[in-house]
Structure 1
Amino acid sequence: MDEGFFQRAYDIVRQIPQGRVATYGQIARMMGEPRKARFVGFAMHSSPGMAGGVPCHRVVFKDGSLAPGFAFGGPNEQRRMLDAEGIEFLPNGKVDMRRFQWEA
């Protein structure tokens, strides 16, 4: 995937407000690339993260599932980061998307 795609994804993810989440597909649609949700995932995995101003922990799967544990340095790290922002989870461990999905 080209560097331009990743940068465009990062630019959108930087706009997700604290206390909200977006989906990989939502980011892809906002980029005008509706069939490239998986590539958005690749971009998030390669991102500089919060240190680089990209809050990629706010990007989740459409059902509210979190990234595999390795993505953030540990199995509970993404959840810890979202908890710290006030994001609430359903009993099944997924983000409550009806309440916390970003309406961009």
Structure 2
Amino acid sequence: MEVDGLVTALERIEHAARDFMHPAHKSDAPSVLLDVLAECGRALGHPYAIDPGLDDARNEASRHCAAVQENLSAVMEEIRQLHMTVSGLLPSLVRIADRE
């Protein structure tokens, strides 16, 4: 992969991470970040041999990218499960509250 591809991937990751941290205007920020990390994170895993310091930073960014992707996927699944559980509870609780 060319260096410009790495730059593009890093720019997309930075933008998605910024939108995730400040989601006031972006309700889909978590899923966008997850998609960008899945797509662009692979670009961080390729050795570029540009400069040892840059390669170390790229490796660290790659590790963070993988950890965030894994953890965010798990959090999103937990949120889906929570939503399903709460959605299942609400009708029964509304019926009980209406009887009182």
Under TM normalisation by the shorter chain, which class is it? 0.3 to 0.5
Greater Rg over alpha carbons, structure? 2
Indicate the structure with greater helix content.
2
TM-score for the superposition, normalised by structure 2: 0.34
Structure with bigger RCO (C-alpha 8 Å, 6+ apart): 1
